[in-house]
Homo-oligomer: A and B are copies of this chain.
């Protein structure tokens, strides 16, 4: 087992690791669509939206000369295309804003808050997410996530898994990379964190993508902690 006694801060992937974005958005939009009288296959919209997530960040990465673009703006751009493709009719500008801000209104997994509350007693806890600061702050207020601070890809003008994000988080905290542990439900995120010197904790979220889940059912790397949920991480860290 790894020596984790140097760890002082835990940084968390958020979409999928802390919150259940898929169920949250489908429920929110289905209820809202009924009250607004908008007909759509909201599940298809949400899955399609997340389906273009990585590509939308790749565009930013490929065109540094255009400057960094925050996730709220990427979400809005992708949404406009999907609404067109899926022929969803009757959406006003305010409606598109409401849907885009759906990513600010995500519900935590059932173990998230209790686990974060335990971990916060011993460690600095922060998101390290591709969501922008405003999105993550609003989500924390909405969902009751007890972060000590909010770290976002936006602060480093690089999206994960770029090294600037993991190293930037350690730098902002005044810590060495090995004093920071990345917590994620995604092996790819942990691989990048580990290669930049961070400690790693995997938590399984096998229903994140619903029936579309294809990977991350289990740990596929040599992570410092592998747990079923946040309580398991707190147990392992003696919280």
Contact = CB atoms under 8 A, between A and B. Distances in A.
A176 B83 CA distance: 28
A149 interface: yes
Interface of A is mostly: helix
A75 to B, nearest CB: 12
Interface centre among A124, A133, A135 (most CB of B within 10 A): A133
Interface stretch (A61-69, A167-175, A228-236): A167-175
Contacts of A112: none
A147 interface: yes
A155 to B, nearest CB: 6
A7 to B, nearest CB: 15
A148 B148 CA distance: 7
Contact of A134 (B132, B134, B173): B173
A46 B124 CA distance: 28
A137 B136 CA distance: 17
Interface in A139-156: 140-141, 147-150, 154-155
Contacts of A218: none
A174 B124 contact: no
Given A148-B150, A150-B149, A173 B137 contact: yes
Contacts of A138: 174
B140 A172 contact: no
A148 B137 contact: yes
A26 to B, nearest CB: 24
27 contacts: A72-B174, A124-B137, A124-B141, A132-B172, A132-B174, A133-B149, A133-B172, A133-B173, A133-B174, A134-B172, A134-B173, A134-B174, A134-B175, A135-B174, A136-B149, A137-B148, A137-B149, A138-B174, A140-B149, A141-B148, A147-B148, A147-B149, A148-B150, A149-B149, A150-B150, A154-B172, A155-B155
